A and B are shown apart, each in its own frame.
Chain A
Amino acid sequence: MFDQVLFYISAFLTVFGAILVVLERNLMHSCIFLLTSLMGVAGLYLTLGAEFVAATQLVVYVGGVVILMLFAVMLTGGGLEEIKKNIVSVDLAPSMGNLITYFWGALSAVVFLLVGGKILTSIYSSAVIADSPKLFIKTVEEIGTKLLTDHVLMFEMSSVLLLGALIGAAVISRPSKVNIFQKGEDDVSH
């Protein structure tokens, strides 16, 4: 019975967090509602029995990405400037963008409706889905075993991918001013 409660709480947090991210005018508030939404997603992972993924979501997203976004907002001025309205933006949702956004949004909505309709029709046409109790798997050990036996190459490739991300991020965010306090530094410091 508690898994239903957990599901409803997590779904509520996810959906309303996401809606408020878009509707908020203040950028910092949006970041905090994003935090709420991501925690809701972690709760949804828990209802599916994926404990390790939920914890990874907490560690990486809540503990890292949200702080990174907060720093990025600070870097670009503190989120203080007025979000400009264009001809077609509605006053209620300031982050709606321009005509291109509307085009892609409409396209995505059509795709989602088609996919959703297909899923719903298949649910209603099949037999009633029983509420089966889920089997408990120790997901950490399973993931670890699979990472080391079946998917070793993916494991190593992920470290190379992270190295690439690290170098790219460091290059992009390096301050471009030459540091005059370090002797012997080249002018082109990349």
Chain B
Amino acid sequence: MNDTIVSYISSLANIEFSPLFVFLIFLVAILIIVNVMALIGGLGTYAERKISADIQMRQGPNRVGPYGLLQFLADGVKMIMKEDIIPTESNKLLYTIAPVLCLSGILATFTVLPFSSGFILSDLNIGIFYLLGVSSLVGVGIFLGGYSSNSKWSMLGGMRGASQIISYEVPVTLSILAIVLIAGGLSFKTLVSGQTGFPNGWYIFHNPFTFIAFFVYFISALAEANRAPFDLPEAESELVSGYHTEYSGMRFAFFALAEYMEVFVLCGVASALFLGGYKVPFDLGGDTIIGQFLQIGSFFTKTLLLYYVVIWVRWTLPRLRVDQLMTVCWKYLTPIALFNLIGTAVWIWAFDGKSILSLILSIGASGSAGGH
């Protein structure tokens, strides 16, 4: 049975909902989540400018609102009032569909993000697999954006972007497989509930192979989101603006929004799979409403910390060339990810799925017991 937020609420309140009411509750929850995510996307642009300013020893935006917080709203208003220029000889249908595909792909991944144990929109049995599938719509969107702009630079950026996204899906899939081996299921609740609130129970510290798998996943996720140092498709210094050169105003805003939301989703998946997700130390609050809010807070803390690391990496490392990009993916990350997969499988068989810390503790215990 797929758990949904509606079933959670109906189990809390002990009411059985009619289909219309189910739909309304879903609608309300979806609107809340989309608004929060759009806010995070907008604040992500603000955070990026502020953090990059901090790294480059200058002030970021600080005029609009307190500390410049409302800058993203000003940007949004500016973009919606810009003239909608569609270049001649561009493919109008594809030109409009490209941002739609990017945005729909990312919005559809929100259904399985585990904000807390009750507040998952719908805990599909195939959660992580579904997320992988839907986030590849973004690749199609980028390719179409590049193709439909009828400009050499956009085309090149679009093709490079699409091939980069599909190449880096392989290490992502293999790293996620290593975690699925340990957890024994594909749904996000299964994946998160195998971990504990304290770091010693997180899957990242389960065995050395998953430790490496976390970094492989993080690097590949950076490349999937076209973030630096892998942002060749939108390289500002080389391709003007890559696949979204010809997009102006609101259409460009959707590409940017989709990118920032995608980074959040990928960081969310990393924190759910490797860093314990929504688990709170001591399981404070348990199953009550307070506990749910603490869990949401835990999830957001871990995800936003990873988000900060993503922004930090962008302004620290230089950009990779396209052949270096492909070499890193196919000749380094994929073999390492395969090695992790084999290592994790062997570890689980050899040690009955126990983590390395519990092994050390048990050796210590048996050593002290046997050593009288």
Contacts and interface: CB of A to CB of B under 8 A. Distances in A.
Residue among B2, B134, B185 with the highest chain A CB neighbour number at 10 A: B134
A52 interface: yes
B211 to A, nearest CB: 26
B31 interface: no
A26 interface: yes
Interface residues of B, number: 31
Contacts, number: 80
Contact of A140 (B2, B169, B186): B186
A2 B4 CA distance: 14
Contacts of A52: 126, 129
Contacts of B163: 71
Nearest to B144: A32
B136 A62 contact: yes
Interface in B126-155: 126, 129-130, 132-134, 136-137, 139-140, 143-144, 147
B262 to A, nearest CB: 14
A63 B143 contact: no
Contact of B94 (A32, A55, A58): A32
A62 B163 CA distance: 15
A58 B134 contact: yes
Query: Which residue, of B97, B126, B137, B186, has the highest number of chain A Cβ atoms within 10 A?
Result: B126
A169 to B, nearest CB: 14
Interface in B1-19: 1-2, 19
B134 A70 contact: no
B310 interface: no
Interface in A7-65: 26, 28-29, 32, 35, 51-52, 54-59, 62-64
A96 B348 CA distance: 56
A67 B139 contact: yes
Given A26-B91, A136-B1, A66 B129 contact: no
A139 interface: yes
B133 A55 contact: yes
A70 B126 contact: no
A138 interface: yes
Contacts of B1: 136
Contact of B132 (A1, A29, A59): A59
A51 B143 contact: no
User: Which of A56, A57, A58 is the most central at the interface, judged by chain B CB atoms within 10 Å of its CB?
Assistant: A58
B125 interface: yes
A31 B261 CA distance: 27
B124 interface: yes
A141 B187 CA distance: 11
A59 B129 contact: yes
A56 B93 CA distance: 28
Interface in B50-97: 91, 93-94, 97
Q: Which of B2, B143, B159, B185 has the most CB of A within 10 A?
A: B143
B176 to A, nearest CB: 12
A55 B166 CA distance: 17
B159 A74 contact: yes
Q: How large is the interface on A (under 10, 10 to 19, 20 to 34, 35 or more residues)?
A: 20 to 34
Contacts of A66: 140
Contacts of B185: 140-141
B121 interface: no
Given A29-B93, A64-B136, A67-B140, A51 B159 contact: no
Most buried by B among A28, A55, A67, A139: A55
A143 B126 CA distance: 12
A135 to B, nearest CB: 10
B133 A1 contact: no
B93 A62 contact: no
Contacts of A62: 133, 136-137, 140
A64 B129 contact: no
B19 A55 contact: no
A51 B126 contact: yes
30 contacts: A1-B19, A28-B147, A29-B91, A29-B94, A32-B94, A35-B140, A51-B124, A51-B125, A55-B126, A55-B130, A55-B133, A57-B133, A58-B130, A58-B134, A62-B137, A62-B140, A63-B132, A63-B137, A63-B139, A63-B166, A63-B169, A70-B140, A70-B162, A71-B159, A71-B163, A136-B1, A139-B125, A140-B126, A140-B185, A141-B185
Interface of B: 1-2, 19, 22-23, 91, 93-94, 97, 124-126, 129-130, 132-134, 136-137, 139-140, 143-144, 147, 159, 162-163, 166, 169, 185-186
The 7 A-B pairs with the shortest beta carbon distances in the complex, nearest first, are A63-B136, A58-B133, A59-B133, A1-B19, A55-B129, A55-B126, A55-B130
Given A2-B19, A29-B93, A58-B130, 9 more contacts: A32-B144, A54-B126, A56-B133, A64-B136, A67-B139, A70-B140, A70-B143, A70-B162, A71-B163
